Amino acid sequence: MASRIERDPSADYRRLHAAYQQSLRYAEDVRRLYHQMQRAICQSLLGLANALEAKDSYTRGHSERVAALGRRVASALGLAPSLVDVVGQAGLLHDIGKIGVPEAILRKPGPLSPEEWHVMRAHPAIGAQIVAPFEFFEGAARAIRHHHERWDGSGYPDGLAREAIPLEARIVAVVDVFDALTSARSYRPALDRDAACAMLRQEAGHTLDETVVAALLGVIELDDR
Ligand SMILES: [Fe+2]
């Protein structure tokens, strides 16, 4: 009589469990590599943004401040952590498209001619194109493209208004204005924080999203406590 080979169920279970553990380790490796790659690309793009800022001492540190404050405003508005990251990326890279704008226009001390404005106004779309090839910057690319749209529809490049403007872009827009106002420019000194906040309040509901302005003012107030 042929003997039956008994299978050991606990051995099957151990093999299955080992295979499962192995697949978890692979998934973790892939996840880690993905984040490393994302960080490396972000750092390369940040290098480009820093190179851009180095051309103009008045904007030095601007992108990193917009990213840091933008993240805090996004959190205050209750955005999901992944969207807070999008705001941070877009804050860092929002003006990267200025790489495509000639230095003579970027550094011009006087007012720009209509033709020069035309070139300058291309920077959000150029910036979005620069980051577009990276799939994980999809949200950031959208926020970069729309960071000069205005709540009342008077901005560029697409003249979007109100909620049609992505929220991440509305956040970058408000923080960008605040940081620009509180930084010295070649044509004016820096405003103090209270004066800058007063200007934001004036623009709230007109060129800037009121809700985002309120969130920024709340974040700034927290710093005083
Ligand atoms: Fe810009």
Contact 48, 99 (CB under 8 A): yes
Q: Which two tokens stand for residue 85?
A: 């990251």
What's the 22 CA to ligand 1 centre distance in angstroms? 47
62, 71, 72, 98: the active-site residue: 98
108 is catalytic: no
What's the 27 CA to ligand 1 centre distance in angstroms? 38
Contact 70, 167 (CB under 8 A): no
What's the 92 CA to ligand 1 centre distance in angstroms? 11
Q: Is 186 helix (H, G, I), strand (E, B) or coil?
A: coil
What's the 221 CA to ligand 1 centre distance in angstroms? 26
Measured CA distances, 115 to 100, 122, 125, 211 (Å): 15, 11, 17, 34
Side chain identity at 23, as an amino acid letter?
A: S
Contact 147, 176 (CB under 8 A): yes
Ranges of each domain in the chain: 10-224
Of 179, 221, 222, the C-alpha closest to 200 is 179
Q: Per residue of the chain (225 residues), what is the pLDDT tens digit?
A: 445 666 677 888 888 999 999 999 999 999 999 888 888 887 887 787 777 777 666 677 888 899 999 999 999 999 999 999 999 999 999 998 988 888 888 888 888 999 999 999 999 999 999 989 888 889 999 999 999 999 999 999 999 999 999 999 999 999 999 999 999 877 788 999 999 999 999 999 999 999 999 999 999 988 877
What's the 194 CA to ligand 1 centre distance in angstroms? 23
CATH topology of domain 10-224: Hypothetical protein af1432 (1.10.3210)
What's the 44 CA to ligand 1 centre distance in angstroms? 19
Residues with CB under 5 A from ligand 1 (ion): 95
On whether the pTM is more than 0.95, the answer is no
Cα separation, 64 vs 128, in Å, equals 18
Alpha carbon 143 to its chain centroid, in Å, reads 7
What's the 128 CA to ligand 1 centre distance in angstroms? 11
CA geometry: angle at 103 spanning 99 and 105, to 5°? 105
Cα separation, 71 vs 83, in Å, equals 9
What's the 94 CA to ligand 1 centre distance in angstroms? 6
Cα separation, 130 vs 181, in Å, equals 27
